[in-house]
Structure 1
Amino acid sequence: MEDILKKAQYWMSSFFDNETKNKVQLLIDQNKKELEESFYQNLSFGTGGMRGVMGVGTNRINKYTLGKNSQGISNYIHKTLPNQAHSVAIAYDCRTNSNTLARVVANVFAANQIKVYLFPELRPTPLLSYSVRALNCTCGIVLTASHNPPEYNGYKVYWKDGGQLVPPQDEEIIQEIENLNYEEIKLVGNEELIELLDKKIDQKYFEEVVKIGTFDATPEARKNLNICFTSLHGTAIKTVPPILEKAGFSQVHIVDEQATPDGQFPTVKSPNPEEPEALEIAIKLAEEKNSDLVIGTDPDGDRLGIAVRDLEGNIQLLNGNQTMVLMTWFLLEKWKKAGKLSGKEFVASTIVSTPLMKVLTEDYGVTYKEALTGFKWIAKLIKDHPELTYIGGGEESFGYMVSDVVRDKDANSAILLTCEMAAELKAEGKTLYQKLIEIYQTYGFYQEHLVSLVKKGLAGAEEIKQKMIDLRKQPLSEINGEKVVLIEDYSTSEAKDLQNNETKSIAIPKSNVLIYYTENGTKVAARPSGTEPKIKFYISVNEAFSKVEDFGQKQEKALEKINAILKEFGVEK
């Protein structure tokens, strides 16, 4: 506690503003537990940038922690790319304080003689990724905490290729930030170097999205598709409706009570389209309007949830793996019909996603590449393999990246692609759900499920750490009565084949992920989140499948197996 008090007293020095000093003093006097949580560590970068609770302290999102990030990045740019003109694009979402924090960040870069292109109002994360390349920037910053609770905000960093930072560059920049004292932050910006962007960049982005997201659906088919959309109080309200309109989808019903951006997300418990509850209002509207599909996006507009009509006509939320498989099938089919598959293309996904992605992709004669969790790794694959053309890819966390126009998951292009696919299928008398079942008939039925254990604070972090230690020290030999045949430990880059008693190296960067595979194709992955206080368990099971009428029975059997596995791991569904 003595070290924490020392850190807090430093924040009472003359460099910090009076409001900050008063808040720190209040914690010292009245709330020792919150004081500890606010100062026990420096807020760190994870899988999707830096996210944290807003407040004072080194472990909180505030103008000083974000200012320090920006100063460190500025120093890194000038040190590694000297004697050059540099620029940065900056965007922000609907979060409380995002606009003011974005201005702080802009001031720091401008104070360091780096040209700033600042969006004048909230914009989705994928538009920022696009803008970095479109404006030829050295880097890009977006202020967002994605789908985290309202008290959170965050800071994502993109480099000149439009992708998020990856090793070793991320570690080099983090070291630059850590070496700084707060007094070294230049908080007073040069206004002449800050340019507010106009709508031209939006229109260029819209044109690119329509180009990569539309194929053969007729104008009539697009008009005939009945869509219900909710932005869940987030930024996608600025992009999805105009993109759909530009592409010719005129039958779009917007959930009005969730259309106004609001960082408190008043109509949902969580602004996460992965959660069925988040789409309840949209589904109700869809029933009233007899919509074919329901679409929801998270606050920064990079993640999407899709709900469709099942075989009985009920609206059902697809999981991220299912939407990813459908979009990948559609892209592969279109590339095949256009004669564009030459053997030099690839599709990408991540190590915790469905095995069906590999099976499907390779059936089309296309290279399948797998990466660590997070779209920054898929973006890195594009950069590392210029000899291959990227078609599309995604991961289970309700994200997809169509083409390489944006180097991160992009709800806008993924939504348009889904609508194009749904319009074509509807014109043929089919639904997305029916097409998914056809894919299962061809390749086998795969069922996935994700469970997250939330463990907040210092004690929670220790509990998560211990859980991973236990899983490694006491590895399972069976899962739900199925023999474990392979264990992949990405922290050591080792894959242990238990059948042949062989150990092979994994040619993927190290990460705190452990994956079990059984003799029957069951896959269980354990991974602490890089941006949230939780540990995630990813379950995948599969069944042979041929008859449509057996689908319900197969699904029920798969879910029973998943429940049994979760019970074994001591977590609830």
Structure 2
Amino acid sequence: IRHLGAVAGVEVTASHNPPRNNGYKVYLGDGSQIVPPADAEIAAEIDAIASLHDVPRPASGWQTLDDSVLDAYLARTDAVLAENSARTARTVYTAMHGVGKDTLLAAFARAGFPAPELVAEQAEPDPDFPTVAFPNPEEPGAMDLAFAKARETDPDLIIANDPDADRCAVAVKEDGAWRMLRGDEVGALLAAHLVARGARGTFAESIVSSSLLGRIAEKAGLPYEETLTGFKWIARVEGLRYGYEEALGYCVDPEGVRDKDGITAALLVTELASELKEQNRTLPDLLDDLAVAHGLHATDQLSVRVEDLSVIARAMRQLREHPPTELAGLAITRAEDLTRGTDRLPPTDGLRYTLDGARVIVRPSGTEPKLKCYLEVVVPVPTHADLPAARTRATELLTAIKRDLSTAAGI
């Protein structure tokens, strides 16, 4: 949109949802997705249409673009990486039946990374997503084929995009087994990498993402902002240099793409893995360093998919009318109903609980029939030797918070 000077854009997309939920995204001329009041105004115009025959459509004047737009995008990806940085990490890549493969391969070849090993069964676009029920790397089973390919080829990391390639998932080998990194872990790794490279500007995230980003930014002397959920808000942060959201979304080149972008994120995390590889270290090693420096920030999610949307409304009403006073034995020191907004956030349908060493946010999903509860605990880690005990404590707390919150919400 910004490259062409367009006033708006519509992306027809599978995104990360099941086939029946394929849809579209609408962007305005600043390159960001629509937010209120534009969304309601557009919806009202749609509702006012009685028949498509009433919609004026030009008989001519359409322009079908050639590959020059793609070429311009690929040229921008060069700026994501540091000049003369290490480019040695080997990857397995899955496009999850989406559109990411050709662009990612071109970007990796341009950067000089080893050609990724492809998950052949998921490499080509297929809107029916035959190998996965939900084409979302976060969903159980979605990464099984990628893990199988990694066991066969032994790469340094696994990269996955969702079908429209704006999300980027990363998996690493740890203690001999492959595991997905949480979006918050990748978000912190990319932030640490950018800080080490001397990045300047504002670091931003949504309120449901880990508070670790704020600590990294504070230590680096960088501005930090929290926004409502969604890159439509993150992309609007003034002076944005880096933004991320726990749902595998990372904006590493805001001057080029004012949205999450799974291709440039994949390049940056592979550069980081390459630099660590040159030091005989791994992404989990850097995560350990961050835990010792800032405390172990462990996150989890209680997510309930429903057929009947009234279940979500009932759960939110239950929490508002009978709010919990403690979770996992930790007293709730502050409870906020975000429908009223805050001094820094516009109103949204959500609840935020602050506990001693923990945080919980509850909200209906904006894109799926789900109630989502985002959990975070922070456990101090004096030394690397204390990491195993800290992880055990964090797991116990997250399990207990999830149990108590489920009871309180009646789900």
TM-score by length of 1: 0.69
- In the alignment, does 2:59 pair up with 1:195? no
Mapped to 2, the partners of 1:307 and 1:325 lie a distance apart of: 15
C-alpha distance in 1, partners of 2:39/2:388? 46
CA deviation after TM superposition for structure 1 residue 188, in Å: 5.6
**What is residue 67 of structure 1 aligned with on the other side?**
none
Deviations 1:157-216 (A, max 9, x none): 0000110011222222222323332356437652x322221111111101102212x115
Structure 2 match to 1:477: 325
Residues 1:487 and 2:355 aligned together: no
SS of equivalent residue, structure 1 residue 246:
helix
The aligned counterpart of 1:552 is: 388
Higher Cα radius of gyration = 1
From 82, 86, 91, give the equivalent of 1:215.
82
1:347 corresponds to: 203
Shift of 1:335: 1.8
- TM superposition shift of 1:356: 0.8
Contact in 1 for aligned 2:292/2:382 (Cα 8 Å): yes
8 Å CA contact 1:136, 1:160 repeated in 2 = yes
SS in 1 for 2:277: helix
Q: Which residue in the other structure is 2:311 paired with?
A: 463
- Give the SS at the match of 1:562: helix
What secondary structure is seen at the aligned counterpart in 2 of 1:194?
coil
Unmatched segments (≥5 aa) in structure 1: 1-131, 494-504
On the 8 A contact 1:292/1:308 being kept in 2, the answer is yes
Matched residue SS, 1:193: coil
Cα displacement string for residues 310-369 of structure 1 (whole angstroms, at most 9, x for unaligned residues):
2x2432210000000110111122125xxxx4xxx2111011111111111111111101
8 Å CA contact retained: 1:225, 1:251: no
Matched position secondary structure for 1:347: strand
SS of residue matched to 1:380: coil
Q: Distance in 2 between matches of 1:170 and 1:287?
A: 45
Q: Of residues 161, 170, 181 in structure 2, which corresponds to 1:318? A: 181
What amino acid sits opposite 2:328 in the alignment? N
Query: Does the 8 Å contact 1:526/1:537 carry over to 2?
Result: yes
Matched, 1:365 2:237: no
User: Which of 103, 114, 117 in structure 2 is aligned with 1:253?
Assistant: 117
Quick one: distance in 2 between partners of 1:551 and 1:216? Answer: 35
Equivalent-residue separation in structure 1 for 2:104 and 2:54 (angstroms): 37
Whether 1:514 aligns to 2:351 is yes
Q: How does 1:174-573 map to 2 (within 5 A)?
A: 174-182=43-51, 185-186=54-55, 189-190=58-59, 192-212=60-80, 214-216=81-83, 218=85, 221-222=86-87, 224-310=88-174, 312-335=175-198, 341=200, 345-381=201-237, 385=238, 389-404=239-254, 405-456=256-307, 460-493=308-341, 505-518=342-355, 520-570=356-406
Amino acid at match of 1:262: D
SS in 2 for 1:517: strand
Whole-angstrom distance in 2 between the partners of 1:569 and 1:375 = 27
Number of the residue aligned with 2:6: 137
- How far apart are residue 155 of structure 1 and its match? 1.6
Aligned to 2:42: 173
Secondary structure, aligned partner of 2:143:
helix
User: Contact conserved, 1:141 with 1:158, CA < 8 A, in 2?
Assistant: yes
Q: 1:217 to 1:273 in 2, by over 3 A?
A: farther
Aligned residue in 2 for 1:149? 18
Q: Which amino acid aligns with 2:332?
A: V
Q: 1:467 to 1:546 in 2, by over 3 A?
A: same
For 2:368 and 2:389, the matched residues in 1 are separated by: 36
**TM-aligned CA deviation for residue 217 of structure 1:** 5.0
Contact 1:231–1:259 (8 Å) recurs in 2: yes
Task: Write the letter of the residue equivalent to 2:353.
Answer: Y
The Cα offsets for residues 378-437 of structure 1, whole Å up to 9 and x where unpaired, read as 1122xxx3xxx3210101111000121101100011000001111111111111110111
- Separation of aligned partners in 1, 2:274 and 2:37: 44
Give me the whole-angstrom Cα distance separating, in 1, the residues matched to 2:52 and 2:156. Answer: 56
Asked if the contact 1:391/1:402 (under 8 Å) is kept, the reply is yes
Q: How many residues align?
A: 408
Aligned partners of 2:203 and 2:243 also within 8 Å: yes
SS at match of 2:97: coil
Task: Write the distance in 1 (CA, Å) between the matches of 2:72 and 2:163.
Answer: 22
1:347 maps to amino acid: F
Q: Is the 8 A contact 1:451 1:536 kept in 2?
A: yes
Q: Aligned letter for 2:98?
A: G
For 1:168 and 1:248, locate their aligned partners in 2 and report how far apart those are by CA, in whole Å.
44
2:316 partner amino acid: M
Change (3 A) 1:215 1:183: closer
* Counterparts of residues 3-42 of structure 1 (less than 5 Å): none
Q: How high is the TM-score relative to the length of structure 2?
A: 0.95
Offset, 1:525:
0.8
Amino acid aligned to 2:191: T
State the alpha-carbon separation in 1 of the partners of residues 336 and 53 from structure 2. Answer: 44
Does the 8 A contact of 2:108 with 2:115 survive in 1? no
2:383 partner letter: K
Cα-Cα RMSD: 1.8
CA–CA distance in structure 1, aligned partners of residues 400 and 311 of structure 2: 23
Contact 2:327–2:400 (8 Å) recurs in 1: no
For residue 240 of structure 1, give the secondary structure of its aligned residue in structure 2: helix
Distance in 2 (alpha carbons) for counterparts of 1:506 and 1:450: 26
Contact kept, 8 Å, 2:91 with 2:116, in 1: the verdict is: yes
Aligned CA distance change for structure 1 residues 548 and 309 (closer, same or farther; 3 Å): farther
Letter matched to residue 318 of structure 2: D
Please report how far the alpha carbon of residue 451 of structure 1 lies from its aligned counterpart in structure 2 after TM superposition: 2.1
Secondary structure in 2 matching 1:370: strand
What is the deviation of 1:250?
1.9
- How many angstroms apart in 1 are the aligned matches of 2:95 and 2:190? 21
Match of 1:109 in 2: none
Aligned residues with identical type, % of pairs? 36
